[in-house]
Structure formats: C-alpha cells, structure tokens
Amino acid sequence: MKRTFLEMVVEPVDGVIGRRRAMSDTEFVLPKMPTVRSCEKDCEDMMSNASTTAPIPSDQSEESTPKTESVATADWADKIDEDILAAPEKTTVMLRNVPYNCSRDSVVRMMDYAGLSGLYNFIYLPIDFRSKSGFGYAFINMVSSAAAEKLFIQFNGFSQWPTKSQKVAEVTWSEPSQGLHIHVERYRNSPVMHDAVPDEFKPAMYENGIRVMFPAPTKAIRAPRFRRR
C-alpha cells in the first residue's frame, strides 16, 4: 500500500546496527543513532558534501564556512591592490637627436645646468667604437616619474647644444625597458663594460648628483667585437 512503512532489523555491518524502512516508492537506510539531532546533523553533512566539490571537515562548523570565504575574498582584493601599487612608474626616457659628437658627460653637464642635478641615476649614450661618435640618442633614468616629466619639459625641443649643431632634441619614454634595475642588469655583463672599453663609452650611475660605481658583473665579460664595414 502506498505510504505504508515496513521496518526490518538488519544484520550488523561493521559493528553498526541499522534498520531498514521501506516505502512503496522510496527506500533508504538510516543508521541507528543516539538522538534525532545527530541524525539530522549527519544528513546536513551529507547534503553539504554532495553540493560542493570538496567535503567540509567534521570539525568545521557551519558558521565558520562563510567567514573563510569572506577572508579569501578579502585576500584576493588585497592582492589586486598590491599589484596596482607595485606597478612600476615610468622613469626611463630616451633622448633622441643628440649630435654625434656630443658625449655622455656633455649630456650630464647639460642636465645639471638645466636644474636636474640629483634627479637622474643612470645614463648611457651608445658610442660607435670605431668612429668614436655617438649614435644620436641616450638612455636616461630619472629618480621618479615627476623628475622624468621635468626632463621632458627641459629637453623636448632643446637645441642649445655645447657643440655646433642644428639638431632639435626629442624626448620619449624608453620602451619596453623601464627602471634602473632593468638597465643595470642589462649592461653589467655586457661587452661595453669590458676593461678594454674607454670609460666615456660606458653607462654611468649617479646618486644625489655624484657618480657612483657601477655594480660588478656576475660573470666573465667577453671583449667587444668591432663591426666590419
């Protein structure tokens, strides 16, 4: 008959005595538990396990679960804030249209004269080793983005070179290399730092307007090779 229960005592399984209750359309086994409350707790745990990808530990209460999710969400939000704050500001510029006979130290003196002393910490003006003339540009790293903007103002359109020239300077951001650390790591093991290369051809570092020693190489530096023309 429908909605009629039959109760049978079954043999113990692993020391647990159970009873089987059957309906005309459903059958399930309920373990014999001390109290009704304990049975409901086990059923809640079973439903919870079935609805999640990972089971909830037995020693974790229902109240602790949303707190854990809330903390995880907060950590994720903090991670985003940290990533935004850690994003490096642009400090490295490329000074273009530099006269070929203008040296690294000449550019340094020009920056000091323009009131930028102490606002830069790295400069490299590539030189052709054969002709001993520049390639027409220099990489300069400023101590901050604000300092870099000052260099933009002073030298974008600059034409008062220490040597006679009609070139007009152009200042752009160095892309993709930005920051002092990247440029130090790029050149410290470069052939341009070899002992055979004259000092005026090498990149230089500064601190508070005073030149400081460039970080030592981390491996043996090979001698530069001259290009054949």
Tens-digit pLDDT profile for residues 176-199: 889 999 999 999 999 999 999 999
Residue 157 is predicted with a pLDDT of 95
Vertex 17: Cα angle to 14 and 20 (nearest 5):
115
Residue 42 is predicted with a pLDDT of 43
Instruction: Give me the chain's average pLDDT, please.
Output: 74
Pick from 33, 24, 26, 34: which is nearest to 3 by CA? 24
CATH homologous superfamily for the domain 92-212: RRM (RNA recognition motif) domain (3.30.70.330)
Cβ–Cβ under 8 Å, residues 199 and 105: no
- Spatial distance between the Cα atoms of 3 and 207, rounded to a whole number of angstroms: 89
Backbone angles phi, psi at 141, to 5 degrees: -105, 130
Residue 227 is predicted with a pLDDT of 61
Give me the residue label for tokens 């030189």.
127
Cβ–Cβ under 8 Å, residues 188 and 216: yes
Tokens of 98: 């530099």
Tens-digit pLDDT profile for residues 88-97: 689 999 999 9
- Hey, where are the domains in the chain? 1-51, 92-212
Pick from 164, 204, 168: which is nearest to 184 by CA? 204
What is the 3-state secondary structure of 173-224?
ECCCCCCHHHHHHHHCCCHHHCCCCCHHHCCEEEECCEEECCCCCCCCCCCC
- Spatial distance between the Cα atoms of 201 and 203, rounded to a whole number of angstroms: 7
Tens-digit pLDDT profile for residues 106-164: 999 999 999 999 999 999 999 998 888 999 999 999 999 999 999 999 999 999 998 88
